[in-house]
Amino acid sequence: MYEVSVDETFAAAHNLRDYYGKCEDLHGHNYKVRVILSGKDLDSTGLLYDFVHLKQVLRGVISGLDHKYLNELAPFDKLNPSAENLARHIYEQTAEQLRQTPNSAGITSVTVWETETSAATYRP
């Protein structure tokens, strides 16, 4: 099995609804996102998936979140903008735009760090 991953970062503000603690009030994070793809076979070039295309897709998805107040953006106007929900959202948006590859490489996980020491992972 092969795995490739790309990391991206973005900055955004949020506050958690129905939560009592630090994240209840409006504040920001410098988020880090890691998308991991895996598959059993490489293509004829020796790649599992083209990093350049994966980065382009991920950057496109993240540009919709960067420097935004997440609670004002769908689906986070209704869904709490927790790291867990962000990871799933980024997974769904990214998976939709990936190229079909003959080796059927697919996303294994999306991890979102809110801080250097706190992260949430979504696995489909």
Question: Which residue is catalytic, options 3, 24, 27, 67?
Answer: 67
Catalytic annotation present for 67: yes
- Tell me the residue number closest to Zn ion, measured at CB: 23
Of the pair 62, 105, the CB lying nearest Zn ion is at: 62
Q: At what angle do helices 83-97 and 51-63 cross, to 10 degrees?
A: 130
Binding residue (CB under 5 A) for Zn ion from 6, 23, 37, 48? 23
Longest dimension (CA), the chain: 53
Closest separation between CB of residue 95 and Zn ion, Å? 25
Catalytic annotation present for 23: yes
Q: What stretches of the chain show up as alpha helix (H) in DSSP?
A: 51-63, 83-97
Question: Which residue is catalytic, options 14, 23, 29, 89?
Answer: 23
Say how many CA atoms lie within 13 Å of 100 toward its Cβ. 1
Total number of residues binding Zn ion (CB under 5 A)?
A: 1
Q: Are 16 and 70 in contact (CB under 8 A)?
A: no
Pairwise CA distance, residues 32 & 74, whole Å: 20
Of the pair 25, 96, the CB lying nearest Zn ion is at: 25
**Which secondary structure element, helix H or strand E, spans residue 78, and what is its range?**
none
Contact segment (CB under 5 A) with Zn ion among 15-23, 35-43, 52-60, 97-105 equals 15-23
Q: Which tokens is 64 given?
A: 């919709």
86 part of the interface to Zn ion, by CB under 5 A: no
Q: Which residues bind Zn ion (CB under 5 A)?
A: 23
Active site residue ranges: 23, 67, 114
